[in-house]
Structure 1
Amino acid sequence: MAHTNGIRRPPIGQWFLIQGVVLVLVGLAFWLKSAVACYSAFLGGLVFLLPHGYFAFKAFRYSGARAAKQIMSSFYQGEAGKLILCAILFTMVFKWIQPLDVAALFLTFAIMLVTNLVTPFLANGRAQRN
């Protein structure tokens, strides 16, 4: 049996599942405040998740040492696209969604940012227990 030392792709689907669960829990918590806070929180989470989904699609479509240039190019394209999508989505929310709980929107976006930082550790801990 051949042993490979290749770098594995991160479990993106598992990461998005964890982040999606966090978004639902945060959105439901804001529902206790008001319906406006609830949908504003969900929008803040989506403004985070959709661009990160685009980044994941772009950044992790190539693998292997032979694809190093493609990998770097994809990472840069993914990051640029993520920032542009984020700006567009925030603009759309502020332009078209009224009433809006701005605090719930930004707080949920910030919670999703922190969740994004800890998700790999949560996923790895879960994989080690299995």
Structure 2
Amino acid sequence: MNQLVKPGRKLSRQQLIFASSLVLVSTVTIFLSWGLSHAQSALAGGCIGVIPNFVFALYAFRFAGASASKQVMDSFFKGAKIKMVLTALLFALSFKFLSISLVPFFSTYILAVVSPILYTALSKFTFNQQ
């Protein structure tokens, strides 16, 4: 693995673990407060926030370095496109096949989307760590 990619992979892995943890905690909390159908909606919304970010991270940190700059940019943009399409597809599938409770669904989705920002603000991660 390229040494230039390690810090980015580490940060994205930590952010995904943080996001997944928040989604699971909020899903359990909603289950205990409102019941199973609301918890299923919350889990679906959280998964729509986490899964495309995971796919994007796989593409974004495949290459690194000046000699691979074209590959880095191509992989980054391909990951962003796939993330957008996957997000739209997961939303469409959720609305078509699941009985959605909107408040837990969207609140957990938003929590999953903003969790990387929350993680970065709350952690002491720097790219200089090894």
TM bucket (normalised to shorter chain) is 0.7 to 0.9
Task: From the superposition, tell whether residues 16 and 87 of structure 1 become closer, same or farther in structure 2 (CA, over 3 Å).
Answer: same
Higher relative contact order (CA 8 A, sep 6+): 2
Q: Flag structure 2 segments of 5+ consecutive residues without an equivalent.
A: none
Runs of 4+ aligned residues of structure 1 deviating over 6 Å after TM superposition are: none
- Paired with 1:92 and 1:39, the residues of 2 have a C-alpha distance of 14
Task: Measure, in 1, the Cα distance between the counterparts of 2:125 and 2:55.
Answer: 25
Length, aligned pairs only: 122
- The match for 1:25 is 25
**Equivalence map 1:1-130=2 (5 Å):** 6=4, 8-10=6-8, 11=10, 12-31=12-31, 32-98=33-99, 100-125=100-125
How many Å apart are 1:96 and its aligned residue? 0.5
Q: Percent identity?
A: 26
TM-score of the two chains, using structure 1 as the length reference? 0.84
**Equivalent residue of 1:62, what SS?**
coil
Q: Superposition RMSD on alpha carbons, in Å?
A: 2.2
* Cα 1:6/1:17, change in 2 over 3 Å: closer
Structure 1: gaps (5+ residues): none
Alpha-carbon separation, structure 2, partners of 1:38 and 1:106: 12
Relative to the length of structure 2, the TM-score reads 0.84
Which letter maps to 1:124?
K
